[in-house]
A and B are shown apart, each in its own frame.
Chain A
């Protein structure tokens, strides 16, 4: 593998290198955007991304614009602002690409959500709303789940913006965090996010991503384990329609023994065959799992399934497992992209079910396995309604006494 491109000077500026670069591990870790060359689109991590749509974010101009925040804060949860030079920011997992470094650099400090063990366990809800697709917004959010705390944090994004986000997640020893990160944007939003999680000893990180809106959304999730016994579950759903680009990438770095990871992502795509290139619904799912030599006793599985509801779709799905030790409990991956085909439609229609209801039935059934694992009924039905409206159904108009 090629040597790192990082210069000795930059190393002094809080840059660390991943030991001999792995195929899919980031080669550069830095908080300085200048350490990351501007992508050309040929790089492995950018080759699926429509860089033109991320051009304004990639240009990286500072901005003082913000999303509007409203929050529900259970008793004991503290939300505060950290200045850019706050030492608490130094120990966080580092950005791994230019956009995530730009978010940290331009956010000029961070908003921190601290959840101590004594806090009430109701969800912390952060509703972030953007008013304009013209607004350029940078944000660094830190979720600090203290040891042995039990926390649920929901981050909901609505409206529109050009949004560069870096979300640092620290799950303390013995703690459990359920993180729900929802991209419910209007059609013209552009959102690049890096969720970088560090999972403590015997800690559990359960993440749920849903990308159902936006023009272009690129979410990168990185998971590292601070000590043995960590457990990370990354769930996700996305629904891509004509002209949308929804990209989910994850890199799970098993560098310590006896940790678990489990990934389950499901996506549906429906484009507009009459609209040519502009009608294509696009999705990208990249699941990189690295089991380093020290990570004996690792157990990992990742699965991505995509459902194509029309011809005008393109779903890339690339699971990738690199294993450097044989002493693991198990490692596997699977990826499948299938079509909702005319025979299935005919079968359902021949039982009296109208075509649109049949599509909805299939899409609901497809996502149910993931959505029901969220374990938050209120948010599950919100997502279900949103999926219905993506399919052109009035959220509450159809009888949907499901059979669960």
Chain B
């Protein structure tokens, strides 16, 4: 059973005035079968955490560790992390002109599974996964994310998650920009992957509405680069009712 362990993670980005610390000591353990929700105000560093786990070159780890089943994730290249089982559904998926979705998916699946899927079963697998997310088959021939609406991009991210079957899935605001129907479809996709019990999910969100469809086991409040409170699903409801104010003030006076 996979376990992602984040210990005392400090991360900086290069800014005009020199390096700026965004993450200031994050501790978090995500195990296969668990769903963790991370909620926090804009700019608190949620995406930074997600990108740091995935290995985006913009972020510098200055202290701390990230391990997956004891393996040093921070020592891996971006593609090695993905092949090790880490998946990041991005808040802003990137457009890759000229590369068709089907070619991209097949190349990705081939890399992560370590062998090319048989062409015939693959076409069926892709079709089925697309149908499950109500993605028009025509998207297979379109360039990756190019001209996709916000909601289409998010569905395409979850399509990849379903095909790649990661051990740890980090979903960065996958719910934002989705209408109610799309939210339901996307949530069902995430739940399908989770049903096997082999994925640990880290769900970054601002809203509790997605938590109606994807039930978190743990809720973490993220303020100013660290986790400041933890609880069960009831914490999400409290946050929705009261906002982050009390946590932000506490963090500021700390």
Q: Which residue of A lies closest to B79 (CB)?
A: A349
Residues of A within 8 A of B82 (CB): 349-353
Q: What mask results when residues 344 to 378 of chain A are scored 1 for a CB within 8 Å of chain B, else 0?
A: 10111111111101000110111011000000000
Asked if A353 and B108 sit within 8 Å, CB to CB, the answer is yes
A343 to B143, alpha carbons, bound, how many Å? 16
A352 and B114 alpha carbons, distance in the complex (Å): 10
A14 to B164, CA, bound (A): 69
Stretch at the interface among B26-34, B37-45, B99-107, B230-238: B99-107
Cα–Cα, bound, A365→B108 (Å): 15
- Scan B74-117; emit 1 where CB is below 8 A from any A CB, else 0: 00011101110001101001111111101110111011100010
Decide yes or no whether A342 CB sits under 8 A from chain B. Answer: yes
* B-side contacts of A43, CB under 8 Å: none
Contact of B104 among A346, A348, A354 (CB under 8 A): A348
Assess whether A353 is in contact with B102, with CB atoms less than 8 Å apart.
no
CB distance from B78 to the nearest CB of A (A): 4
Binds A, one of B49-57, B130-138, B174-182, B198-206: B49-57
Kindly state whether residue B12 has any CB partner on chain A within 8 Å: no
Say whether A350 contacts B78, CB under 8 Å.
yes
Instruction: Quote the shortest CB–CB distance from A72 to chain B (angstroms).
Output: 33
What separation, in Å, do the CA atoms of A348 and B106 have in the docked complex? 12
Looking at chain A's contact residues, the main secondary structure is helix
A330 proximal to B (CB < 8 A): no
Interface size on A (CB < 8 Å)? 27
* Chain B residues, CB < 8 A from A366: 97-98
Binds B, one of A79-87, A141-149, A228-236, A396-404: A396-404
* Bound-state Cα–Cα, A343 to B103, Å: 19
| Shortest beta-carbon distance from B147 to chain A in Å | 15
- Which are the 10 A-B pairs with shortest beta-carbon distances? A365-B98, A352-B82, A352-B111, A351-B108, A347-B94, A349-B78, A365-B99, A352-B112, A366-B98, A349-B79
Give A residues with C-beta under 8 Å from B.
307, 338, 342-344, 346-355, 357, 361-362, 364-366, 368-369, 399, 401-403
22 A-B residue pairs with CB within 8 Å: A307-B98, A338-B97, A343-B94, A344-B95, A344-B96, A347-B90, A349-B55, A350-B55, A351-B108, A351-B112, A352-B111, A352-B164, A353-B111, A354-B111, A355-B79, A357-B111, A361-B104, A361-B107, A365-B96, A365-B143, A366-B97, A369-B98
